[in-house]
């Protein structure tokens, strides 16, 4: 699963766009200014107060709250209580331990804590759904003129919050928890799409979340469901302009992941077809960003995948042509000092390509 939250338009290392890392685009109406300070609107007659979760959970920063599992550090899922110490964790998480990670007591058995799970589920369902009506500042005892304060809907943060929790759970191998959170997030986005239509922002977010759901299914060996999610991700991402680096990257990666699943399933023609589609997406992207090094690397990787599929099918000449094309791209690639992190990837792909040619020469 990609570590980039689809609700955060963070720039890639070689992206020259002016977006700030961590900036969340789920904002309707006025922009937020930090710290919960009131911000005057253009007319100067009202102010806006940023939303805050009463439990202290925040979609932009790391937080362990009272409803978190101390093992996976995500919200509790399938709450289970240790006997006799009564500490509570996700069932999948605590099942890996014989002693309680918090107190060290022997875990004699694990019991479901349905009451606490119900609280967690209600919290997730209502998280950030609090809406407050406009109130007069004087009524809250604040000095100043008669101005209305607009308390924004905290649900603006819900998508990023759910993805944050899903990513934590996935990293801790609590895949069912991750799937549950991502499914809720996808449901929210679909609801927004039904209301406002297929905007680029919503399609981008839904495409990324569906790709994450595909990763979850692939992690547990459910290839069929993984392909379904990846294909749906591709459907939404293909509606967007190729000029956005992150969208293009996510789109091509989803196509490659479908190709990988088809390849491992023995359907080489289908695998080659998906690899080729990914290559075409990346070739189009490099036209928009010819000086972006990561795009060149992506094209080389796609060439290698198509070539490998060609060789497996028996198209040896086509495979060799693509191996040579990929090598030429990587050998001519000049990285800037600030792109040093890409050098290891370039060398790794180049080594693979040279090994493929060496294997042919040794036959």
CA pair distance 26, 47, nearest whole angstrom: 19
Asked which of 51-60, 241-250, 274-283, 306-315 is least confident by mean pLDDT, the reply is 51-60
More confident residue, 51 or 150: 51
pLDDT of residue 248: 87
**Residue 57 confidence (pLDDT):** 60
Q: Give dist(CA 336, CA 331) in Å, integer.
A: 14
Which of 8-22, 46-60, 64-78 has the weakest average pLDDT? 8-22
Give the separation between CA 90 and CA 100, rounded to whole angstroms: 12
In the predicted structure, residue 17 carries a pLDDT above the cut 60: no
Mean pLDDT on 219-229: 95
Highest mean pLDDT among 160-174, 258-272, 290-304: 258-272
The torsion defined by the Cα of 331, 263, 267 and 359, in degrees rounded to 10, comes to 50
Q: Residue 363 has what pLDDT?
A: 58
Query: pLDDT tens for residues 236-290?
Result: 888 876 667 888 888 999 999 999 999 999 999 999 999 999 999 999 988 888 8
> By C-alpha distance, which of 263, 281, 186 is closest to 232?
186
Assign 53 a pLDDT band (cuts: 50, 70, 90). low
- Where residue 111 falls among pLDDT bands split at 50, 70, 90? very high
What average pLDDT score do residues 63-91 get? 91
pLDDT of 127: 64
Higher pLDDT: 65 or 329? It is: 329
Lowest mean pLDDT segment, chosen from 112-116, 144-148, 183-187, 347-351: 144-148
Would you say residue 39 has pLDDT above 80? Answer: no
In 197-292, alpha helices (H): 200-219, 223-237, 245-264, 268-288
Task: Round to whole Å and give the CA distance between 9 and 30.
Answer: 18
In Å, what is the CA distance from 230 to each residue of 59, 173, 251, 252, 258? 25, 20, 9, 11, 7
Percentage of residues of the chain with pLDDT beyond 70: 72
């Amino acid at each position: 699963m990609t570590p980039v939250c689809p609700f955060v338009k963070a720039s890639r290392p070689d992206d020259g766009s002016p977006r700030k890392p961590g900036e969340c685009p789920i904002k309707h109406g006025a922009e937020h200014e930090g710290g919960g300070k009131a911000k005057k609107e253009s007319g100067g007659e009202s102010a806006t107060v940023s939303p805050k979760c009463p439990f202290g959970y925040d979609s932009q920063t790391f937080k362990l709250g009272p409803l978190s599992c101390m093992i996976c550090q995500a919200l509790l899922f399938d709450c289970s209580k240790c006997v006799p110490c009564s500490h509570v964790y996700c069932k999948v998480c605590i099942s890996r331990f014989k002693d309680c990670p918090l107190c060290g007591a022997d875990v004699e058995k694990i019991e479901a804590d349905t009451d606490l799970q119900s609280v967690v589920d209600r919290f997730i369902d209502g998280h950030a759904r609090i809406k407050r009506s406009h109130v007069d500042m004087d009524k809250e005892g604040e000095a100043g003129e008669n101005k209305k304060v607009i308390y924004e809907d905290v649900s603006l943060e819900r998508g990023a919050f759910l993805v944050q929790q899903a990513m934590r759970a996935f990293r801790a191998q609590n895949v069912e928890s991750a799937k549950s959170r991502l499914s809720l997030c996808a449901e929210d986005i679909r609801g927004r799409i039904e209301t406002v239509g297929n905007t680029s922002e919503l399609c981008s977010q839904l495409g990324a979340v569906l790709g994450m759901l595909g990763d979850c299914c692939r992690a547990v060996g459910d290839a069929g469901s993984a392909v379904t999610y990846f294909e749906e991700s591709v459907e939404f991402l293909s509606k967007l302009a190729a000029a956005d680096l992150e969208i293009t990257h996510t789109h091509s990666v989803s196509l490659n992941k479908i190709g990988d699943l088809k390849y491992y399933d023995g359907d080489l023609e289908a695998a080659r077809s998906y690899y080729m589609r990914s290559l075409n997406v990346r070739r189009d992207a490099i036209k928009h960003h010819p000086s972006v090094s990561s795009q060149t690397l992506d094209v080389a990787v796609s060439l290698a995948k198509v070539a490998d599929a060609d060789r497996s099918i028996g198209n040896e000449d086509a495979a060799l042509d693509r191996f040579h094309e990929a090598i030429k791209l990587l050998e001519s690639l000049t990285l800037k000092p600030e792109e040093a992190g890409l050098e290891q990837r370039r060398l790794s792909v180049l080594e693979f390509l040279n090994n493929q040619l060496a294997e042919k020469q040794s036959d």
